[in-house]
Amino acid sequence: MKVARDVGLEPAEVLTVTVGAQGGPEAAAREARYAALAEAAERLKAETVLLGHTRDDQAETVLLGLARGSGLRSLSGMAARSGRYRRPLLDLPRATTVAACRAMGLTPWDDPHNEDPRYTRVRVRHTVLPVLEAELGPGVAEALARTAGLARQDADALDEWADTAYQNCALSDIGGLIKVTVAELEKLPDAVRRRVLRRAALAAGAPSGALSATHVLAVDRLVTNWRGQKAVDLPGGLSAVRRYGTLIFAISPIA
């Protein structure tokens, strides 16, 4: 806080967060941090929140998404702009930001959790990326970050296509009850159709963090491999069921 005030940043605050238990410690901590930032931004009427993520953070995010098989959106990493959030250092390596602090006589605060090997991201940072650089040559982090940018362009285009397709497919879009026509879904490429199905599930009330690719693929089989199978259970107490050429997303059980 003293560093912030010394360079003329006022008001300066240190926020304490309570980390929940859902979604694993890293995801829970991230959710708590963003919730605290959002609350502070509202309280201080801040239109923009600057975050310190660097190119190394982006590379780690891409590797984690690849390892988890989370799909194209996960491989696209973090956006330079997302709502009120800005990441102005995203194209710079961490070493450059450290050197800049040193040149200005600033002592950055290092979160001790960033050195704890119990966390997956820490192992990626200190073990996986150095091994890749040693075996494949320098520039791996830069290449991964570049891949994130390319993946984001493709993901944005597919999402835009899916938004339009959803409007064409949705017969009913009321919170807690979504109906989508199968005939329109069948016309779509796999990547777009599954995005539409995910959007329908979210619109019905499925929690975003709990709705996995496995859930979406199970619903997709109601369209592509229909054999009269039973409803698919979804997070949030929801189900998806096919009836007479219509997919219905609603709170279980569906009458």
Asked which of 122, 154, 186 is the last residue of a domain, the reply is 154
Q: Which structural domain, as residue segments, surrounds residue 239?
A: 175-251
Identify whether residues 60 and 145 lie together within a single domain: yes
For 70, the 3-state DSSP assignment is: coil
For residue range 64-106, list pLDDT tens digits in order. 988 887 788 889 999 999 999 999 999 999 999 999 999 988 8
- In this structure, what CATH number is given to the domain that contains residue 231? 3.30.465.60
* Whole-angstrom distance, CA of residue 224 vs CA of residue 219: 9
Q: What is the CATH number of the domain that holds 108?
A: 3.40.50.620
Please state whether the predicted TM-score (pTM) of the whole model is above 0.85: no
Give the span between the Cα atoms of 72 and 155, in whole angstroms. Answer: 6
Residue 160 in any domain: the answer is no
Q: What is the pLDDT of residue 204?
A: 93
Q: Extract the tokens encoding 25.
A: 């410690």
Question: What confidence tens digit (pLDDT) does each residue in 127-184 have?
Answer: 999 999 999 999 999 999 999 999 999 999 999 999 999 999 998 877 779 999 999 9
Q: What domain count does the chain have?
A: 3
Query: Quick one: which of 89, 93, 82, 172 has its CA closest to 140?
Result: 93
Same domain, 149 and 133: yes
How far apart, in Å, do the first and last CA atoms of the chain sit?
57
